Amino acid sequence: MRKKNKKITLSGNSRKKADPLKITMARILFFLSAVLWLAYGVYIYYDMAITNNNKSSADVVTLFSIVNAGLFLFSGIKFGGTQKWFYYFALAVTALNLLLSLFNIVDLYFLVSFLIDMLILWAILPLYKNYLSIP
């Protein structure tokens, strides 16, 4: 019987390559969520400030919505990079938004946001092993 030849890895980087389809899908979902949160910020400002003449509350709610949209946009731009904190930042933003959307799930908008966040988690959680080996 012959012995099988063992493969020799010459490079020090034995990190498994991430699935580019999952990374692309997650980035698209991050951008979609950013657009939805920005649209919600515009809608809520119009509804609260102009229709109901409640400008101080509208400013606060719109600020939170725009910050959330900015965090999703930043996560979409940086996700798939070679640094570990990109993954953890995107995961934290998604988990926090998922939790906040869960509290308001009776509204149709928050149900859509919750479903998009679940799809994002479905796309990025299997990529965890790829970021474990990064120093």
**7 assigned to some structural domain:** no
**106 assigned to some structural domain:** yes
**64 assigned to some structural domain:** yes
Task: Write the CA distances from 118 to 33, 54, 70, 99, 108, integer angstroms.
Answer: 11, 33, 19, 11, 15
**84 assigned to some structural domain:** yes
In 66-106, where do the E strands start and end? none
- Are 73 and 34 in contact, with CB atoms under 8 Å apart? yes
| Contacts of 101 by beta carbon, 8 Å cutoff, 6+ apart | 110, 111, 113, 114, 117
**pLDDT tens per residue, range 60-83:** 888 999 999 999 999 999 888 778
Number of domains in the chain: 1
**15 assigned to some structural domain:** no
Give the pTM: 0.79
**102 assigned to some structural domain:** yes
Q: What is the pLDDT along the chain (135 residues), one digit of tens a residue?
A: 566 666 554 454 545 666 788 889 999 999 999 999 999 999 988 888 788 887 788 888 889 999 999 999 999 998 887 788 888 999 999 999 999 888 887 888 889 999 999 999 999 988 888 777 666
- Are 79 and 86 in contact, with CB atoms under 8 Å apart? yes
| Contacts of 74 by beta carbon, 8 Å cutoff, 6+ apart | 89
- Residue written as token pair 């299997």: 126
**3 assigned to some structural domain:** no
Distance, CA of 115 to CA of 98 (rounded, Å): 9
